[in-house]
Amino acid sequence: MFTLGPLGFTAPWLLLGLIALPVLWILLRAVPPAPIRRRFPGVVLLLGLTDADSQSDRTPWWLLLLRLAAIAAVIIGFAGPILNPQDTRAGTDPLLIVADGTWADASDWQARTDRIGALLDNAARSGRTAAVVTLTDLPVDGPTFQSAEIAARGLPNLGPAPWEPDTVALTTFADTLTGTFDTFWLSDGLARDSRAPLLEALERHGRVTVFQTPRSTVALRPAQFVDGNIMLSATRTPTGPALTVPVQAIGLDPAGAERVLASVDMAFEAGEGIGDVTLSLPPELRNRVTRFAVAATRSAGAVTLTDDALRRREVALIAGGGEAEGLDLLSPLYYLREALSPTADLIDGTLDDVLLANPDVIVLADVANLSPTEEDGLVQWVEAGGLLLRFAGPRLAASDVGRTTEDPLLPVRLRAGGRSVGGAMSWGEPKALAAFPEGSPFFGLAIPADVTVASQVVAQPDPTLADRSIAQLADGTPLVTRKTMGEGQVVLVHVTANAEWSTLPLSGLFVQMLERLAISTRPTAPDAEALEGTVWLPQARLDAFGRLDDATSEAGIAGEMLALGVVGPDLPPGLYASEDARIAVNVAGPDTVLATAQWPARVPVEGLDVARETPLKGALLAAALALLMIDVIASLAVGGRLRGPRADVAAALTLGLLLGLAPHATRAQTPPNAAADDFAIAATSNVVLGYILTGDPQTDEISEAGLRGLSDTLTRRTSIEPAAPMAVNLETDELAFFPFLYWPVVPNAPLPSREAYAKLNRYLRTGGMILFDTRDADTAHFGSASPEGRQLQAIARTLDIPPLEPIPEDHVLTRTFYLLQDFPGRTDSRDVWVEAAPPDAELADGMPFRNLNDGVTPVVIGGNDWARAWAVDARGNSMFPVGRGQAGEVQREYAYRFGVNLIMHVLTGNYKSDQVHVPNLLERLGQ
């Protein structure tokens, strides 16, 4: 390849064509442009006029230059220029490109494929055959050397695997190698025993070059429980300066969406290869964690799945005594249930049944005597790792269990009868708790001052008592004792599980203590023996990039494989489930330690960085095309074709080109919502009555006319002078501007949207009033007998409406302006409903009416079709007849009076109600 600075040419001989450019210059200058034929009546006047210069306009120099530039671009373009051409690696032998393809490669897999691509490009240019192999996915019958272009085509299919190369498979692969070839080995940077043999095998066939970058690799080890907390640890290589990695706990939130539940920074000390951090999560959150991952690292090693180790524990609750009828709060298990149900699966049943379920914890609350079979079962279960938690109680205190000899299911011997302190028949104060001693599982828990113990069973002094006591009262009496038994333990709390003997179950400490006790009993992982012969179905599979894919459709895996625990193609990392247990297989085990791969000095090690080759051919040819396009327009301009009849077309084309090239003008700023502003200003510049748009034009018109009539009446008779009523669209308009809304209920109208309901409820809560008018003369009496009634029920179902009652005689609505007892509209039905008076409102002595609720009733519901009674047309004439004759007009007058009272009530609230006190106030002032 011919190179010129950073430029290389694949076909440099074509550049000789540039010599022809000066010749072209002369030729182009000589050739005149083709004539245009034009119809022109004025030709007569031209006859006889000769050109001053017999030669045509010479092509201007800039146009010539343009054309020459275009041609030069074409010539150079076809000469195949390449920016930053890569040095061809010497050699003609076939090329084997080996990539480790492990999870450690995943985080920068793109860089690796780029590097492989560059190597293949090189090989293609020098005509070498090549083969690409990943060590985690070895071809069965050795590498196939083929043309480098074809090999490059398979590059997108190449991917890392979430496991490490298998030593046996590597040996087999090394045996399949034949012939002479050079090897490029893209290492993932991790030390591995299998590297050296393979390197030797490869070197037997030719030179080996290694590509490896000194980057940091972190692998997260499985999360472990240490003292009720989650212990996370990670290993890294190289062990460089101090490093902090953010680790995220990921799981499903209550809504079922996967999200980061907690985040913690894990710190590696400088020079330390292992970092760890303790994560303390509330049990509820911890139960949800499905995996931990190092944030922003795409690698399977940076993810560790959690399994049963974090699952909810099964707790069996068994209370002594029969089915005594009593209050829930007295049940010995009530507080236990309350405390454990959020964090544990509770099991009920008889002890025999419960033992079959093999729970993690069995709680015996005041159970004294057990049958021999039960006792044997319990002992076996505890020795197999169960936690038996016993609470004392009257029955235990009264029984002879553990009196003389230590009961196997009690940690200590008990003295008969127990003791009471601070009771009615005893001296002293109820005892408080002493601080938990170090070594106790409760160590560190704060003790609330109000936790006192009034009664307890008392342990017999024993040599072992001090060791077994894990919580004491202030006077040193053991409160909680524990003994280990086999793999399990027995814990006795010397008070009852209910609040009978102490206030402990009432306090938060009780929950914390239970937590400490229950959490420290997590199920042990099934061992190889248990796994033998079982089949585990993959639930989720971790790919090399740390993504979790659903794998429920894949075949099950034998338990033996799981017991072996070697991650590989046969056991991909992921989550495996049997009937009732789940096992996570992670890339990094609890003891994994990463180290950096070291290569012998004879092997050259290069970095991964690759300066991208940029072929310029396309760009140059495109530039040539663009230049020719410009030449077209310029030639037209020079030849006079951009004037005359077709000038507008040409101008339009040019303009179009320019516009197409110019960046699109920024979109005009959207004008502010002027309509909404106008609405707000109109609604707030004066008192405005509003009506809800129902979607029925006739109803809306009547509402408007009705409120207009009412507004006129108010203006005439009172100091309220409302502006013209406004229509309110529930969906789009703001309601807060209106003190009063009239809502005619129209059957079959669409219900308001959720947002509109939210708006309505806010409106009602903040002091707005809605007058619902079913306009059916209240024939339905609030029932579903009329379509309007049904619609009202549908509307009101979601509304925040307080209890209602028909307007009582002493309601403030009856006297805000006029004294009224009827509230007619176009019809005269008695029942109009308002917010009910508080139940304790009573008629005070000497008062004409009760001192009722403060504030304004948020809704008034009736069916009297008030809008029609109020409605006036533009000239102030009533639009609809009311009743007959004079009586009808009187009814209309009362309708107006109701309207006036209503608006007065809206605007003045309980003012009239308070006037009741005026005589009293005057009397006091007089004194």
Partner 1 sequence: MTDALTLRAGAEAQASALPPLLAAAEHLASTVILGDHGRRRAGTGDTFWQYRSAQSTDHARSIDWRRSARSDASFVQDKEWQIAQSVVLWCDRGASMRFASTDKLPEKATVARTLVLACAILLIRGGERVGMTGSDLPPRRGTGQIAQMAALLARDDDADYALPEVRGLIPHSRAVFVSDFLGDIAPVEDALTRAADRGVRGALVQILDPQEEAFPFDGRTVFESMSGTLQHETLKAGDLRSRYLDRLAQRKDRLTQLARTTGWQFSTHHTDAPATQSLLWLYQSLAQPA
Binding residues (CB under 8 A) for partner 1: these are 32-47, 49, 51-57, 638-641, 643-645, 648
CB of residue 62 to partner 1, shortest distance in Å: 17
Question: Does residue 725 sit in helix, strand or coil?
Answer: strand
| 462: exposed, middle or buried (Cβ count in 10 Å: 0-12, 13-18, 19+) | middle
Structure tokens at 110: 């793109």
Is the CB of residue 24 less than 8 Å from the CB of residue 71? yes
Question: Does residue 862 sit in helix, strand or coil?
Answer: strand
Structure tokens at 506: 């009432």
CB of residue 33 to partner 1, shortest distance in Å: 6
Question: Measured from the CB atom, is 535 or 637 closer to partner 1?
Answer: 637
CB of residue 630 to partner 1, shortest distance in Å: 18
CB of residue 647 to partner 1, shortest distance in Å: 8
- Cα R_g (the chain), whole angstroms: 46
Residue 34: Cβ within 10 Å count: 8
Short-list 494, 490, 497, 492, CA closest to 521: 490
Question: Measured from the CB atom, is 41 or 848 closer to partner 1?
Answer: 41
Question: Measured from the CB atom, is 54 or 670 closer to partner 1?
Answer: 54
Check the CA dihedral 871-873-877-882 and report its sign: negative
Question: Measured from the CB atom, is 150 or 649 closer to partner 1?
Answer: 649
CB of residue 648 to partner 1, shortest distance in Å: 8
d(CA 762, CA 764): 6
CB of residue 650 to partner 1, shortest distance in Å: 13
Residue 905: Cβ within 10 Å count: 26
Q: Which amino acid is at 724?
A: A
Is the CB of residue 126 less than 8 Å from the CB of residue 85? no
Question: Measured from the CB atom, is 57 or 227 closer to partner 1?
Answer: 57
d(CA 866, CA 861): 11
Residue ranges of alpha helices (H) inside 220-370 are 283-288, 334-340, 351-357
CB of residue 29 to partner 1, shortest distance in Å: 15
Q: 727-742 burial, b for 16+ CB within 10 Å, e for fewer?
A: bbebeebebebbbbbb
Q: Which letter does DSSP use for residue 525 in this model?
A: P
CB of residue 64 to partner 1, shortest distance in Å: 16
Question: Measured from the CB atom, is 55 or 927 closer to partner 1?
Answer: 55
Is the CB of residue 112 less than 8 Å from the CB of residue 105? yes
CB of residue 58 to partner 1, shortest distance in Å: 11
Tell me the CA end-to-end span of the chain in Å, nearest whole number. Answer: 117
- Name, in order, each residue with C-beta under 8 angstroms of 839's C-beta and a sequence gap of 6 or more: none
d(CA 320, CA 322): 7
Short-list 131, 114, 117, 119, CA closest to 173: 131
Short-list 770, 773, 690, 677, CA closest to 738: 690
Question: Measured from the CB atom, is 56 or 784 closer to partner 1?
Answer: 56
Question: Measured from the CB atom, is 644 or 767 closer to partner 1?
Answer: 644
CB of residue 25 to partner 1, shortest distance in Å: 21
Short-list 770, 792, 922, 914, CA closest to 850: 914
CB of residue 638 to partner 1, shortest distance in Å: 7
CB of residue 66 to partner 1, shortest distance in Å: 18
Question: Measured from the CB atom, is 422 or 639 closer to partner 1?
Answer: 639
CB of residue 60 to partner 1, shortest distance in Å: 12
CB of residue 651 to partner 1, shortest distance in Å: 13
Structure tokens at 95: 């090329």
Question: Measured from the CB atom, is 47 or 425 closer to partner 1?
Answer: 47
Query: How are beta strands 313-319 and 361-365 bridged, if at all?
Result: parallel
CB of residue 700 to partner 1, shortest distance in Å: 50
Question: Measured from the CB atom, is 37 or 924 closer to partner 1?
Answer: 37
| 450: exposed, middle or buried (Cβ count in 10 Å: 0-12, 13-18, 19+) | exposed
Beta strands in 781-849 (DSSP E): 804-806, 833-835
Q: Which amino acid is at 384?
A: A
Question: Measured from the CB atom, is 49 or 918 closer to partner 1?
Answer: 49
Is the CB of residue 572 less than 8 Å from the CB of residue 536? no
Question: Measured from the CB atom, is 637 or 736 closer to partner 1?
Answer: 637
Short-list 890, 836, 892, 850, CA closest to 869: 892
CB of residue 65 to partner 1, shortest distance in Å: 20
Structure tokens at 863: 């069916």
Q: Which amino acid is at 404?
A: T
Question: Measured from the CB atom, is 636 or 730 closer to partner 1?
Answer: 636
CB of residue 71 to partner 1, shortest distance in Å: 23
Short-list 873, 863, 860, 869, CA closest to 890: 869
Question: Measured from the CB atom, is 41 or 533 closer to partner 1?
Answer: 41
Is the CB of residue 109 less than 8 Å from the CB of residue 136? no
CB of residue 56 to partner 1, shortest distance in Å: 4
Question: Measured from the CB atom, is 46 or 168 closer to partner 1?
Answer: 46
- Name, in order, each residue with C-beta under 8 angstroms of 750's C-beta and a sequence gap of 6 or more: 695
Q: How far apart, in Å, are the Cα atoms of 646 and each of 74, 652, 653, 853?
A: 31, 10, 11, 85
Q: How far apart, in Å, are the Cα atoms of 303 and each of 10, 50, 104, 680?
A: 47, 90, 12, 55
Question: Measured from the CB atom, is 550 or 648 closer to partner 1?
Answer: 648
Question: Measured from the CB atom, is 47 or 674 closer to partner 1?
Answer: 47
Total residues found in the chain within this entry: 927
